[in-house]
Amino acid sequence: MPEPTHALAEQFDDLEQQRQASTIGMWVFLATEVIFFGALITGYTEYRASYYQAWAAASKHLSVVFGAIMTILLLSSSFTMAMAVHFARLGGRKRLALCLLLTILLGAVFVGMKFMEWHDHYQRHEVPGMGFEFPGPNAREAQLFFSFYFAMTGFHALHMIVGIGILAVLTGLALLGRLAPPRHVPVDIAGLYWHFVDIVWIFLFPLLYLVDLHHK
C-alpha cells in the first residue's frame, strides 16, 4: 500500500480518529488470526486427547532446548519491537531504525532455527507423507502429531516472514525520516502484529515441545 503523502487520510477528520481506527482495525484483524490458528489448536486438542501416548512419544522427538532458545529469541524480539514503538512515538529516528533492525535480526534467527529444525526432521524421516518413520507402536498417530507440528509451525513461520517483510519496509521508511510523529502509527500497528505472532509461539512452545516430558 503506498504511503499517503499527508499524515491524515482524507476520510478522517483528525489524527486521533485515524490512529484509533488503525489500532482497532488491527485488533479486529488479530481476532480473526486467533480463530485462524485456533482451528489448528482445536484439531490439536482433539487428537491430543484421543492419542495422548502417541503425542507424548512424538513430542519427545523435538528438542526442548532448541525450542526454549527460540522462545527466548522471540520474546526478546518482542521487547525490541516494543522499544521501537516507544522510540517511534518519541521521534527518535536512528534509535527507531536500530530497534527495528534488532527485531528483524532476532526474528530472522528464529526463522533460521526453525528451518534447521525442519531440516533435521526431514533427515530423520519425520516429515508426514514423505517416507515417515517412527519407532514404536504409535507410528500412525505420531505422524498425525507431526502433521500438526508442521502445519502449526509452518503457518507461524509464514507469519514471521510476512512480519519481517513489513519491518524491513518500516526500517527503510524510518531511515528516510518518514515515520516521524504524527506518522508513527504504522510502527504501532506492525508492533501489534509482531507481538501477536509472539503470543502464538508462546502457546506453540508448550503445546508442541513440552508434552509429558517427565516420562522417559
Nearer to other proteins, 77 or 171 (CB): 77
DSSP state of 208: I
Q: Is 25 in the site for other proteins (CB under 8 A)?
A: yes
Figure out which of the listed residues 38, 112, 165, 177 binds other proteins, where binding follows CB under 8 A. Answer: 38
Q: Interface with other proteins by CB under 8 A: which range of 102-110, 117-125, 129-137, 162-170?
A: 129-137
Radius of gyration for the alpha carbons in the chain, expressed in angstroms and rounded:
20
Residue 196 Cβ vs other proteins, minimum distance, rounded to whole Å: 8
Figure out which of the listed residues 58, 62, 83, 173 binds other proteins, where binding follows CB under 8 A. Answer: 83
Q: Which residue has the cell 485515524?
A: 18
Contacts of 33 (CB under 8 A, 6+ apart): 159, 196
Cα–Cα distance measured from residue 103 to residue 101, given in angstroms and rounded to the nearest whole number: 5
Residue 38 Cβ vs other proteins, minimum distance, rounded to whole Å: 4
Cα–Cα distance measured from residue 200 to residue 37, given in angstroms and rounded to the nearest whole number: 8
Q: Is 105 in the site for other proteins (CB under 8 A)?
A: no
Q: Is 45 in the site for other proteins (CB under 8 A)?
A: yes
Residue 111 Cβ vs other proteins, minimum distance, rounded to whole Å: 19
Cα–Cα distance measured from residue 215 to residue 181, given in angstroms and rounded to the nearest whole number: 54
